[in-house]
Chain A
Amino acid sequence: TYQNAQKLIVDNKFEPKVFSEKLVTLLMGRRTEPNSRTQREVAIKKEAWSRFGKDVNSCFRRAPPFHFMLGSFDRGPPIKKVK
């Protein structure tokens, strides 16, 4: 039927490299011609990684850890005031 045929066209085959190119465009913020950019040229800035990390946070269920100082080093003997 028409609908099955239409389904076939839309049914995608996932290509990791194509996905990466889409990500580069997203993270570098402008259209990049696939072959013009050599591997070395792609340098995604930390801010872009950070922003994207914030956007994908909702996919995770991370538990924030406990950071502390007390008890993380040996106390050593009491220090007396030299009279």
Chain B
Amino acid sequence: MSKMYTDAHRLVVQAFLARGVMDEKDVKSLVHTACERCGVPNVGERVDNFIHQINSQLHKMAMEIKKKREEEDGAQVYALVQTAEHQIGKIINNYSPKELELFKEIVSKVITSENGEVSSTDCLNLADALERRITKDEAQNAVKKFVEERWLRIDEEGQISLAARGIMELQMFLQEKYSDFIVTCYLCQDIVVKGQLCDGCGKVKLHNFCAQRLFQTRPNPKCPACEVNWSHDIPHLNGGPVEE
């Protein structure tokens, strides 16, 4: 146990256990407060180094604090995720078997959909197709809970997609079960579920915020692989990275 691992690290791990997922600014203030309360020299901006020290202890427990941008607006998010699929997972969970089955079907629909999102009405209609019958109300409450706990995301038009926490947690499951559908982003190499796909070669796919970064200085953007004109409109997200 390296002496660099202090009560401040334990406090941050406990906060991640309690909350599961946090925005970047909350992680920064958490680490700052934890260091201050434990009399540990403040890490300042080196939050990722602090998180790395925690992860070096957590990996033995098949747990990890991962970082990813929300696909919609590029906001940076940290989450404490499970990295192994062992059967203890089926023993208890704060979701009922019915809710988990619904979640599994929603993930399946989102991953196999054209543009990585599904309407909330389609999600509720899934309730009838489940093995374990679930009422529309129960399905509605389940979806509300999945969004509140940031496994899923819902936008203004009611479209449901996988939130960053959901993608980080299920990465292994997605890559192995949906290998045909799961693509990594041409620019940042991270998984991209909802993004822009080149309609020329159908190979290059970009996160919205990565398309913004790649094409921001180019008047008529072309696909970096097949040179076909990039037909999607280039978003102007404030959340996205200007430079990485």
B169 touches which one: A65, A68, A80 (CB < 8 A)?
A68
What is the count of residue pairs linking A and B with beta-carbon distances less than 8 angstroms? 74
Across-interface contacts of B93 in A (CB, < 8 A): 68, 72
B82 touches which one: A68, A73, A78, A79 (CB < 8 A)?
A68
Would you call B212 an interface residue if the criterion is a C-beta within 8 Å of the partner chain's C-beta atoms? no
Across-interface contacts of B178 in A (CB, < 8 A): 78-79
| Nearest Cβ on chain A to B98's Cβ, whole angstroms | 11
Task: Evaluate contact between B89 and A79: CB separation under 8 angstroms.
Answer: no
Would you call A75 an interface residue if the criterion is a C-beta within 8 Å of the partner chain's C-beta atoms? yes
Would you call B200 an interface residue if the criterion is a C-beta within 8 Å of the partner chain's C-beta atoms? no
Would you call A66 an interface residue if the criterion is a C-beta within 8 Å of the partner chain's C-beta atoms? yes
Across-interface contacts of A81 in B (CB, < 8 A): 112, 180-181
Across-interface contacts of A67 in B (CB, < 8 A): 20, 94, 149
Given A73-B104, A79-B108, A79-B112: A68 touches B89 (CB 8 Å cut-off): yes
Segment 59-83 of A: residues with Cβ below 8 Å from B? 63-73, 75-81
Would you call B103 an interface residue if the criterion is a C-beta within 8 Å of the partner chain's C-beta atoms? yes
Would you call B87 an interface residue if the criterion is a C-beta within 8 Å of the partner chain's C-beta atoms? yes
Proximity bits, A12-55, B CB within 8 Å = 1, else 0: 00000000000000000000000000000000000000000000
| Nearest Cβ on chain A to B19's Cβ, whole angstroms | 8
Task: Evaluate contact between B85 and A80: CB separation under 8 angstroms.
Answer: no
Interface size of A by Cβ–Cβ distance < 8 Å? 18
Give Cα A64 to B89, complex, Å: 17
Task: Evaluate contact between B181 and A73: CB separation under 8 angstroms.
Answer: no
Proximity bits, B95-111, A CB within 8 Å = 1, else 0: 10000110110001001
| Nearest Cβ on chain A to B53's Cβ, whole angstroms | 19
Task: Evaluate contact between A75 and B89: CB separation under 8 angstroms.
Answer: no
Q: List 29 A-B contacts (CB under 8 A).
A: A64-B17, A64-B18, A66-B17, A66-B63, A66-B80, A67-B94, A67-B149, A68-B81, A68-B82, A69-B82, A69-B151, A70-B85, A70-B89, A70-B172, A70-B173, A71-B84, A71-B87, A72-B90, A72-B95, A73-B90, A73-B100, A75-B173, A75-B177, A76-B104, A76-B177, A78-B177, A79-B111, A79-B180, A80-B180
User: 3 nearest interchain CB pairs?
Assistant: A71-B89, A71-B85, A81-B180
Residues of A within 8 A of B (CB): 63-73, 75-81
